[in-house]
Amino acid sequence: MLLNEIKRQPIAGTDVMAILKGGMIKLLFQPGEEILPVGATLMINEGAMNNPKPEAIFGQYVINAIESGKIGIQKGKMMASMDELRVIVHGKGGHGAVNVIPDQVTLEGTFRTLDEIWRSDAHERMIKMACVIAESMGGHCDFKIDHGYPVLVNDPKLTGYVEAFSREYPGDENVVEVDFQIAAEDFAYYGQVTKA
């Protein structure tokens, strides 16, 4: 049953039994969100989304900019993808009276986007640009990309159910629309398995 259908059911002992017989609520308690490979992929690979496969999955994310007690809603793209980048540039080192120039330097960072097709293209462009620049100066580089979280996309219909339910309780005044976030969330992997 979808959230708005459950909400409209009278809740008494026998009604709850009827809901439980007609459907199932599966709770996931997930470890390891912050380090690749992340908890969501481990849970999916271990079969948490099987037997039975859920029709939909809901997650909750705390956004500090939203006042406590409010519910933020965003249909469609909600959070960015996130990849970890590591570039090692090799060149010729040296030293002077004060300064030492190493023969290699390591750069690390993250790369985020809200478009999966552009993400793939950007990976290729970054590698090519870094290698061409290093080679043009007599060096070379090793460019490693650890593919992280995909873009988190909220299913518009499912999000509409949550919004309608939330406008009834805790009330219309407690529901706010939020913009997409450049933050990333491994919950996005569940959205690749079922509606999220």
Q: What is the pLDDT of residue 172?
A: 94
Please state, in angstroms and rounded to a whole number, the distance separating the CA atoms of residues 95 and 133: 23
Q: Could you tell me which of 86, 83, 82, 100 has the C-alpha nearest to residue 141?
A: 86
Distance, CA of 22 to chain centre: 31
Q: What is the pLDDT of residue 23?
A: 62
State the pTM of this model: 0.79
Q: Which of 91, 87, 76, 78 is nearest to 123 (CA)?
A: 87
What is the pLDDT tens value at each position of the chain, 196 positions in all? Answer: 344 444 444 443 333 333 334 467 777 877 776 667 778 888 899 998 998 888 888 888 888 888 999 999 999 999 999 999 999 999 999 988 788 999 999 999 999 999 999 999 999 999 999 999 999 999 999 999 999 999 999 999 999 999 999 999 889 999 999 999 999 988 999 999 999 9
Peptide bond just before 10 cis, omega within 30 deg: no
Q: Which residues pair with 127 in a beta bridge?
A: none
The pLDDT assigned to 13 comes to: 36
Q: Where are the domains of the chain?
A: 3-79+151-192, 81-146
CATH assignment, 3-79+151-192: 3.40.630.10
Long-range contacts of 123-130, Cβ-Cβ distance < 8 Å, separation of 24 or more: 123/83, 126/85, 130/87, 130/89
The pLDDT value recorded for residue 104 is 97
* Helices and strands, counts by H and E, the chain: 5, 9
Give the number of residues written for the chain.
196
Bond before 37 cis per omega within 30 degrees:
yes
